[in-house]
Amino acid sequence: MADLYSYLLVAIIIFTIGSYGIITQRSGIKILMCIELLLNAANINLVAFSSFNGSATGQVFALFSIAIAAAEAAIGFAILIALFRIRDTINLDNINILRW
């Protein structure tokens, strides 16, 4: 069985991919996917710690956060669909009415 550090390494790699994507991607859908990656990196952490600490709290926390991530994605897609209906684009570069 792999040790704790390999799990944490996977989590950190996923987290890095997610943050890189949020900075570089311009499509609304891809940004939503990157946010899911960030949340799931945290979930891997929670479950790994939970298993190595021998307490179930982390797994419960991960379950809560999975449910919340699903709700969050639903709201994100709803906003994107509403935006697509009136603007015909979800490219974040074109969504710039509000600026100083």
Residue located via tokens 């799931």: 40
User: Per-residue string for binding with other proteins, 45-64, x by CB under 8 A?
Assistant: xx-xxx--x-x-xx-xx--x
CB 53 to other proteins: min, Å: 5
Helices (H) and strands (E) in the chain, counts: 3, 0
- Report the alpha-carbon distance of residue 26 to residue 7 in Å, rounded: 30
17 binds other proteins (CB under 8 A): no
Q: Are 36 and 73 in contact (CB under 8 A)?
A: yes
CB 17 to other proteins: min, Å: 13
95 binds other proteins (CB under 8 A): yes
Window 27-46: residues binding other proteins (CB under 8 A): 28, 31, 35, 38-39, 41-43, 45-46
- Report the alpha-carbon distance of residue 50 to residue 41 in Å, rounded: 14
CB 65 to other proteins: min, Å: 6
